[in-house]
Amino acid sequence: MVKKDFGSVIFIFSLIVVLVFAIILIIQIFKIIFGGSWRIEDVILALVVFNLTICFGIGGYLINLNNKILNVNTKLQGHLSWHRGKE
């Protein structure tokens, strides 16, 4: 079983939420164009929430990326200390 870190889980979860939310928004925008179901204020508010969801997704991705960089940095420091003769 693959162990997932916190940033990866947040990124995957927010990506799923963004995709579902985007599909709902696209359907509602088409309904507005072809006859209307939501008021325009509701669509604008939904787009703002969509933007916030994307921001959380990017935050989760950055946490995941930071953990990966930290792992590479730790391995690189160990390797460089081995070359210098320090353990």
Which amino acid would we find at residue 36? G
Per the model's pLDDT, the better-predicted residue between 86 and 49 turns out to be 49
The domain total for the chain is 1
Query: What pLDDT, on the 0 to 100 scale, is given for residue 2?
Result: 55
- Judge whether 2 lies within some domain: no
The answer, yes or no, to whether residue 17 has pLDDT greater than 80, is yes
- Judge whether 73 lies within some domain: yes
- Judge whether 18 lies within some domain: yes
Full residue range of the structural domain in which residue 79 is found: 7-84
* pLDDT-derived band at 39, boundaries 50, 70, 90: confident
CB 81 within 8 A of CB 87: yes
Q: How far apart are CA 61 and CA 63, in angstroms?
A: 5
pTM of the model: 0.53
- Judge whether 1 lies within some domain: no
Give Cα separations from 37 to 25, 27, 31, 41, 47 (angstroms).
11, 10, 6, 12, 16
